Amino acid sequence: MAEVATADVSHDDHHHEHEQTFWSKYVFSTDHKIIGFQYLFTGIAMAIIGGYFAYVFRMQLAFPGSSVPFFGIVSPSAYNSLVTNHGTIMIFWVAMPVLIAAMGNFLIPLMIGCDDMVFPRVNRLSYQIFLLSAIVLIASFFVPGGGFGGAWTAYPPLSALAKYNATPFGAPMWLIAVALEIVAFLLGGINFITTAMNARAKGMRMYDIPIVVWMIVIASMLFMASVGPLVAGAVMLLFDQTLGTTFFDASAGGDPVLWQHLFWFFGHPEVYVVLLPAMGIVAEVMCTFARKKLFGYKLILYATVGLGILSFFVWAHHQFISGVDPRAAYLFTTTTLLISIPVAIMLFAYIATLYGGSIQFTTAMLFALSFLAEFLIGGVTGIWLGSSGTDIYLHDTYFVLAHFHYTFFPIAIIGTFTAIYYWYPKMFGRMMNETWGKIHFWGTIIAFNGIFLPLFFLGAAGQHRRIYNYQNFPDLAGDNMQDLRVFATISLVIMLLFQIPFVINFIVSLKRGKKAGKNPWKANTLEWVAPSPPPHGNFPDGMPEVYRGPYEFAHPDREDDYWPQNEPGNQKPANK
Amino acid sequence: MLEKLLPAASTYAKDIDGLFDLITYLVGFWFILAMGVFFYLVFRYRRKPSEKAQYITGETHKQKLAIEVPHYLILLCDIAILVLTFIVWHHVKIEKPPAEDEVRIVGQQWAWTFYHSGADGLLGTDDDIAKVNELHVKKDTVYHYKLESRDVMHSFSVPVFRLKQDTIPGRIIEGWFEPNKTGEWDIQCAEMCGVAHGIMAARIFIETEEEHAAWIAANSPNSADTSMIAKNETVLETQAQEDRSNG
């Protein structure tokens, strides 16, 4: 099988790397774990920038016109640029690198029991291009005219011509950064899919693969299948910006709406590209801490595939009122509401997994459970927007904004914290402090709801997005509404402050945390067979062999309440 | 439910609000049920030293029913929402009742210009009244609007009408509304349109028949305001042509 061949490739690499310097070990490494950490820490750094942007523009909304501490007065163009880049950063430079690239890199080889990615050098190239894309984006804030401010959806003609957007350098640089980021993830996606399909441990059948690996693989497939039109669109838009072509210029025969189709054809599957890895992470953590087999493994897997396919047929629900033929709304409302079926199946199966369990409330488990509760809010509020009738009113209001933050926050932030609290012992060999973890958890979750629940009401009262000062609109300037804005902003500041215990806990535990040992959570999957932290090559005691599925907790044939995948046993429990 | 947050001032606002309510009831039911089951399970199955977890695969037919039955029920709810959505959408965006008056709406960076039809109720005649950021309409009259943009995408949004429609440069988008409550409210631009998008505010004035007639009489076509707009428009068009030939 292919794992033999790949094992050779990367063994070559780590013979060299054993005596290497800091630079070659941590910066130019081909080790999947180091590349995973590079993505993780770059993602966290970008999250700090994105969070800072959110702080600045929320302060402006709560206290319009006053000087924001650590920023100053927020001008309209600065506001637009902050909002645009907050969205761009959080999707492309936080959710994607942390959930897909960092977790995919760190977990896939460990969980399927192989020593590295099948293309380690492609993997390294992927991170380097990603880093370059982040640098281009950050540089775009400092060029003349400032960063791009035409919203993260970048609708032309506004995004196409400097005379409209007033950012002659910011707009093309923004677009180049996004295109580079996409290239990085295409390279990464090839690696994830190939590795998971070809380099599995001996004995690991398709249905023995941990669900998080499946989720990252399916997400990578969705990404690769959906991103083509966006790349084509990005090149056309870049030509419009820099070479004077007129692909999106109606006055010269182009069509600005074309961009919306290309963008959202990618943009909607993209939601599921980041959702799936987070769902996978949550499944792993829930099974371990409920000591339960995942309820309906195959059902979840098939629902995921169905969800992935359906996600290609819903994109125009972002365009109900954008001037496309109104009859298209019949089709896209139908497909959009149908998406509730696979998502409901997945969520119900997750909730059913808790039935009959023995639930330990570790910090990781609290985050995993809160993911379900918060994502449920995000999921159900999508129905109001998916129905074209109510979308006429709610489109582009804060209702939309609150809805997708109730999906993306659980995905990108709660999902990431779940993963970090759960795999930290494996990543760094030590345990994080649980007390501080729980303080971080409650501070984050309560404050998060304090930010976004009021925004549903503001949206339902007709407040639109991307407006830097509501005092210009008499209907929106009332005290009641301003109080809600202030409440949301204060909640945001509290939530940001509650990240300090996390950062301190993370850093202090690196040195002072309790030693983790190989399998501190008594989990079944193969990463817990490797030492903590795993050395280059992952499994120094020999590559593991797999005898059973990943979630054989509390099996009646066994005294221990867990049964590692690699432990030889007389009975091979049927997977059915 | 929405009317508690914002008044409804068009005939179809109540249809959209009704659809909103239906979705709220159906979704609210499932949400509370799912959350209730979730929190019950989390509480009931918290770790107790005496109890070992149960071994349940979730792959037998009987166990799968626990997922299948609710998902068929959700499908039924989806269909109910779809049917009402189609009716509302058809009414608001597809089928237009016959026009009793017309208005031409032009968006540009960063203002709305409203061309009222004037006394004769027809657009494109001499008595048209153009106003910047002020839309005057008569209660209980079916208006057809024609929506245009001079530069980038804008979105014509009148929250009290529950109406929103993007503008696209190079196209004329048609639609309708019928105001049914007098008063004065915001018109917002709902699509990011550049630096001053945040101050692209306009007002709608919904007037009784007498008030509206008085307003028309007071705003004769040759007033200073209108000629200024005509001049402004010429300047903009020349500018646009220059840009095209330069760029």
Query: Could you read off the pLDDT of A55-83 as tens digits, one per residue?
Result: 999 999 999 999 999 999 999 999 999 99
Which residue, A5, A11, A9, A149, is CA-closest to A535?
A11
pLDDT of res. A5:
40
Position A553 in a domain: no
Q: Which SS3 state, helix, strand or coil, does residue A571 take?
A: coil
Asked if B168's CB is within 8 angstroms of A322's CB, the reply is: yes
**Segment A195-199 mean pLDDT:** 93
User: Are the beta carbons of A153 and A465 closer than 8 angstroms?
Assistant: no
Model pLDDT for residues A132-165, shown as the tens digit of each residue: 999 999 999 999 999 999 999 999 999 999 999 9
> Using CA of residue A383, residue A386, residue A388, residue A394, what is the dihedral sign?
positive
Q: Which of B54, B85, B171 sits opposite A388 (nearest CB)?
A: B85
Query: What residues in B contact A465, CB-CB < 8 Å?
Result: 190
Domains in chain B, ordered, with CATH? 2-94 (1.10.287), 101-220 (2.60.40.420)
Secondary structure (H, E, C), chain B:
CHHHCCCCCECCHHHHHHHHHHHHHHHHHHHHHHHHHHHHHHHHCECCCCCCCCCCCCCCHHHHHHHHHHHHHHHHHHHHHHHHHHHHHHHHHHCCCCCCEEEEEEEECCEEEEEECCCCCCCCCCCCEEEECEEEEECCCCEEEEEEECCCCEEEEEHHHCEEEEECCCCCEEEEECECCCEEEEEEECCCCCHHHHHCCEEEEEECHHHHHHHHHHCCCCCHHHHHHHHHHHHHHHHHHHHHHHC
pLDDT band at B1 (very low <50, low <70, confident <90, very high): confident
Give the whole-number percent of chain B exceeding pLDDT 70. Answer: 89
**Contacts with A351 from chain B: Cβ below 8 Å:** 34, 37-38, 41
- The single residue listed with the structure tokens 């005290």 is A479
**Phi and psi (nearest 5°) for B174?**
-110, 150
Report if residue A229 sits inside a domain: yes
Q: Which of A250, A354, A473 sits opposite B41 (nearest CB)?
A: A354
Confidence at B230, pLDDT banded by 50, 70, 90: low
Output phi, psi for A54, to 5 deg: -60, -40
- Look at residue B224 in the predicted model and tell me its pLDDT: 47
Q: How far is CA A21 from CA A131, A139, A519, in A?
A: 21, 29, 30
pLDDT of residue A102: 96
Nearest-angstrom CA–CA distance, A16 and B35: 54
Q: Closest Cα of chain A to B55: distance in Å?
A: 6
Say if the Cβ atoms of A390 and B186 lie within 8 Å: no
Q: Which residues of A touch B203 (CB under 8 A)?
A: 474
Residue B2: its chain A contacts at CB < 8 A? 393, 460
Work out the minimum CA distance from A162 to partner chain B, whole angstroms: 10
Q: Give the tens place of pLDDT for each residue, A333-353.
A: 999 999 999 999 999 999 999
Confidence of residue A557 (pLDDT cuts 50, 70, 90): confident
Concatenate the DSSP letters of all residues of A146-204 into one string.
-S--STTTT-TTTTT-HHHHS-TTHHHHHHHHHHHHHHHHHHHHHHHHHHHHH-PPBT-
**Is B233 a residue whose pLDDT tops 90?**
no
Higher pLDDT, A234 or B58: A234
pLDDT bin (cut points 50, 70, 90) of residue B241 is low
pLDDT of A8 > 50? The answer is no
Which of B23, B43, B21, B191 shows the shortest CA–CA distance to B109? Answer: B191
State the pLDDT at residue B122. 86
| CA atoms of B5 and A559, how far apart (whole Å) | 59
CA–CA dist A382, A271 (Å, integer): 12
| Of A530, A525, A517, A457, residue with least CA distance to A487 | A457
Given this model, what pLDDT does residue B237 score? Answer: 59
Planar angle of CA A520, A288, A185, nearest 5 degrees = 95
Give the dihedral sign, CA A429/A434/A435/A441: positive
Q: How much is the pTM? A: 0.92
What range does the domain containing A332 cover? 2-6+33-528
Q: How far apart are CA A273 and CA A96, in angstroms?
A: 8
8 A C-beta contact, residue A111 and residue A546: no
The answer to whether A192 and A216 are in contact (CB under 8 A) is: yes
Question: Is residue A576 in a domain?
Answer: no
Q: With respect to residue A14, please indicate whether it lies within any of the assigned structural domains.
A: no
A13 is a domain residue: no
Query: In the predicted model, is pLDDT for residue A559 greater than 90?
Result: no
How many domains in chain A? 1
**Dist CA A39 CA A551 (whole Å):** 28
**Cα–Cα distance measured from residue A210 to residue A31, given in angstroms and rounded to the nearest whole number:** 21
- Whats the size of chain A, residue-wise? 576
Which residues are CB-contacts of A212 (< 8 A; sequence separation ≥ 6)? A103, A107, A111, A277, A280, A281, A283, A284
A396–B191: do the CB atoms touch at under 8 Å? yes
DSSP A402-414: HHHHHHHIIIIII
Among A252, A333, A476, select the one facing B85 at the smallest CB separation: A333
Q: For the segment A379-388, what is each residue's pLDDT rounded down to a tens digit? A: 999 999 999 9
Can you give the pLDDT at residue B50?
Answer: 80
Residue A20 lies in a domain: no
Tokens 């409210």 belong to B185
C-alpha of A206 from chain center:
25
Contact B56 A355 (CB under 8 A): yes
Q: Do A256 and B170 touch (CB under 8 A)?
A: yes
pLDDT higher for A519 or B238?
A519
pLDDT beyond 90 at A375: yes
Mean pLDDT, chain B, rounded, equals 89
Residue A14: band (very low, low, confident or very high) from pLDDT cuts 50, 70, 90:
very low
Give residues with Cβ within 8 angstroms of A63, minimum separation 6: A486, A489
Confirm whether A114 is domain-assigned.
yes
The pLDDT of residue B243 is 55
pLDDT: which is higher, B243 or B174? B174
Contact (CB<8Å) B93/A329 = yes
Q: Contacts of residue A376 in chain B, CB cutoff 8 Å?
A: 31, 34-35, 38
Tell me if B89 and A333 make a contact (CB, 8 A cut-off). Answer: yes
Instruction: Give pLDDT tens digits for B150-165.
Output: 999 999 999 999 999 9
Neighbouring C-beta atoms of residue A500, cutoff 10 Å: 11
Specify the pLDDT at position B124: 85
Selected residue with higher pLDDT from A521 and B124: A521
Give the pLDDT band (50/70/90) at residue B118.
confident
DSSP A143: S
Contact A396 B2 (CB under 8 A): no
Where does residue B221 rank: exposed (0-12), middle (13-18), buried (19+ CB within 10 A)? middle
State the distance between the two ends of chain B, measured CA to CA, in whole angstroms.
Answer: 51
pLDDT in tens, A202-245: 999 999 999 999 999 999 999 999 999 999 999 999 999 999 99
Pick from A296, A393, A395: which is nearest to B58 by CB?
A296
When pLDDT is cut at 50, 70 and 90, the band that residue B245 belongs to is: low
pLDDT at residue B235 in the model = 53
For chains A and B, count residue pairs whose Cβ atoms are closer than 8 Å: 289
Contact A481, A61 (CB under 8 A): no
CATH code of the domain containing A103: 1.20.210.10
Flag whether A330 is in a domain.
yes
Residue A18: CB atoms within 10 Å: 9
Token code pair at residue A389: 């009738």
Q: Over chain A, what is the mean pLDDT?
A: 92
Q: Is the pLDDT of residue A373 over 80?
A: yes
Q: Is the pLDDT of residue B222 over 70?
A: no
Q: What is the DSSP letter of A298?
A: H
Residue A385's closest CA among A437, A424, A332?
Answer: A332
Instruction: Point out the residue among B20, B64, B155 whose CB comes nearest to the CB of A299.
Output: B64
User: pLDDT-derived band of residue B240, with 50, 70 and 90 as boundaries?
Assistant: low
- Residue A297 with chain B: CB contacts under 8 Å: 57-59
Distance from CA of B235 to the nearest CA of A (A): 16
- Written as six digits, the tokens of A232 are 């084509």
For residue B247, pLDDT beyond 50: no
Cα separation, B173 vs B163, whole angstroms: 14
Instruction: Yes or no: say if A28 and A135 are a contact pair by the CB < 8 Å rule.
Output: no
Q: Is the Cβ pair A294, B58 closer than 8 Å?
A: yes
Measured CA to CA, the distance from residue A203 to residue A188 in angstroms comes to 26
